Amino acid sequence: MPRAVRIYGESGYMHIYTRGNNKQIIFEDKADYIYYLNLLKNYCSEIGIRICCFCLMDNHVHLLIYDLEQNIPKLMKRLNAAYSGYFNWKYKRTGHLFEGRYNSIPIESEEYLLSAFRYILNNPKKANICIAKDYLWSSYSRYGKSESFVDTSVFQDLIGNWEDYESFVSADYEDCPELETFTRDDNWAKAVMRDVLRIKNGSDLQHYDANARNESLQVLKSRGLTIRQIERLTGISQNIINNA
């Protein structure tokens, strides 16, 4: 199956998510986090991409990026290749460090932009590590700081000063829709189909031969679509989806 073309929204904002192969650890110590952040800072400067928010967890990375020129693939290719080379050399390992292609979700509303921003910063809390402001490897402390390579200006306009920012990040999620809830509806699922399978409608899969259809169903399930969602959007029965 050919590699799908990335979907870009008109806003230029994109939520990027990448993780270690088989969910393996990609940051073993403090020096690893620092090395990755230096790469990120340098490549963003060279390529002309703005980082609005980041969070580095032990086995995955979240980035909120502003990029009207669609240079994210160039950034991620250079970033992942350089860091993989460093990590493999340091820990005397071989093979892929990251799990396939990075995930990317275009952001097309102010509500989703704020939701993604808070979701990324709260990853340590979600993982029961610590609250957002106590985590060292996110952009939490860089809010409003002009000397940082992280550009939070759009959020300063939307959220306000530091006190407002602290309240916003720490607020209960009911005040702002969670990322998963917002992105995993049928509109999100249709976008995944267009992105990874390059089909206009889910029903197109009904015309595939059995092998190609089953492979496509596996891909959709691996990308987070539920079986009922796949059935609803493709018209293919649950039995066939389960067997695939």
Q: Is residue 6 predicted with pLDDT exceeding 70?
A: no
Q: What is the pLDDT of residues 127-160, one digit of tens each?
A: 889 999 999 999 999 999 988 889 999 999 999 9
Question: Above 90 in pLDDT, residue 83?
Answer: yes
- Confidence label for 185 from pLDDT (cuts 50, 70 and 90): low
DSSP 205: G
62-80 pLDDT tens trace: 999 999 888 999 999 999 9
How far apart CA 79 and CA 191 sit, in angstroms, is 26
The domain covering 13-179 belongs, at the CATH homologous superfamily level, to Transposase IS200-like (3.30.70.1290)
Report residue 8's pLDDT band, with 50, 70 and 90 as the boundaries.
low
Residue 184 confidence (pLDDT): 59
Q: Parse the chain into domains and list their residue ranges.
A: 13-179, 184-243
Three-state secondary-structure class, residue 37: helix
| Paired tokens of 169 | 């990040």
Contact between 54 and 1 (Cβ < 8 Å): no
- The b/e string for 130-161 (b: 16+ C-beta within 10 A; e otherwise) is eebeebebbbbebbbeeeebbbbebbeeebee
User: Is residue 199 within 8 Å of residue 193, measured between CB atoms?
Assistant: yes
Residues 163, 166, 48, 148, CA torsion sign? positive
The percentage of residues in the chain with a pLDDT greater than 70, rounded to a whole number, is 91
Residue 14 is encoded by which pair of tokens?
A: 């994109």
Q: What is the pLDDT of residue 140?
A: 97
Distance separating alpha carbons of residues 191 and 193, to the nearest angstrom:
5
Tens-place pLDDT, residues 23-57: 889 999 999 999 999 999 999 999 999 999 999 99
pLDDT at res. 74: 94
CB 190 within 8 A of CB 202: yes
Q: How high is the pLDDT of residue 88?
A: 94
pLDDT at residue 5 in the model: 46
